[in-house]
Amino acid sequence: MATTTATITLSSADLLSDELALTTTSTLTQTGTGTGIEHTTGLAMKTITSTAKATASGQVVLYTADDFAAIAYLYIKNLATTAGHKIYIYDDTTSGDPIQFQLDAGDWGFIPMNSDKTYAAYASNNPTKMEFMVLGKDQ
């Protein structure tokens, strides 16, 4: 069985009166079990050229609904280096295409996402590069 881990470190020397140093590691498992995940899309780097939600072209589809079973893990990073060059991740399955995350230049995100929805990205600026990966159990 493969072992896949995700570790986050949050640190600051001057936000609080004492140092903030938080580190936690999660082993990524299939939903509701102790069995490790088995599949990944691999790390992808793509360029977004769309600056509007739900337009026909230029957006990047991060994940298509039901590709993976139950919960899958999404990692995403905005590779832009200019502040204010945002990437917007929205739910393309739900009515109204609600925006769920906004990543400014250099931001990254990681979430065990609902696997029954399609997620897509557009950006505030054309072009904007991003990298992303989905981990879970294919179905």
Partner 1 sequence: MATTTAAVTLTSDLLSDAMSVNASTTCMKAGTTADGLDQLEYAVVEIPTGDEYDLICSTPTASKASKLYVKNHAIDETYFVAITQNAQAIGRLYGGDWMFIPADFHDAAGDIAITSNGGTNKIEYALFHEGTALTTT
Cβ proximity of 41 and 72 under 8 Å: no
Q: What is the nearest approach in angstroms of partner 1 to the Cβ of residue 36?
A: 8
Consecutive H or E run containing 76: strand 71-78
Contact flag: residue 32 with partner 1 (CB under 8 A) = yes
Contact flag: residue 56 with partner 1 (CB under 8 A) = no
Q: Which amino acid is at 47?
A: T
First to last CA, the chain: 17
Question: In angstroms, rounded to a whole number, what is the distance separating the alpha carbons of residues 9 and 25?
Answer: 9
Q: Which of 19, 27, 55, 138 touches partner 1 by CB under 8 A? A: 27
Q: Which of 49, 51, 65, 101 touches partner 1 by CB under 8 A? A: 101
Label residue 40 left, alpha or beta by phi (over 0 means left) and psi (-120 to 50 means alpha): beta
Contact flag: residue 111 with partner 1 (CB under 8 A) = yes
Tell me the per-residue interface mask from 67 to 96 with partner 1, x by CB under 8 A, - otherwise: ----x---x-x-----xx------x--x--
Task: Give Cα separations from 67 to 36, 63, 115, 135, 136 (angstroms).
Answer: 18, 7, 7, 11, 10
Contact flag: residue 10 with partner 1 (CB under 8 A) = yes
Interface region with partner 1, contact rule CB under 8 A, candidates 13-21, 46-54, 55-63:
13-21
Where does this chain bind partner 1 (CB under 8 A)? Answer: 2-16, 20, 22, 24, 26-29, 31-34, 37-40, 42-43, 71, 75, 77, 83-84, 91, 94, 98-114, 117, 133, 135
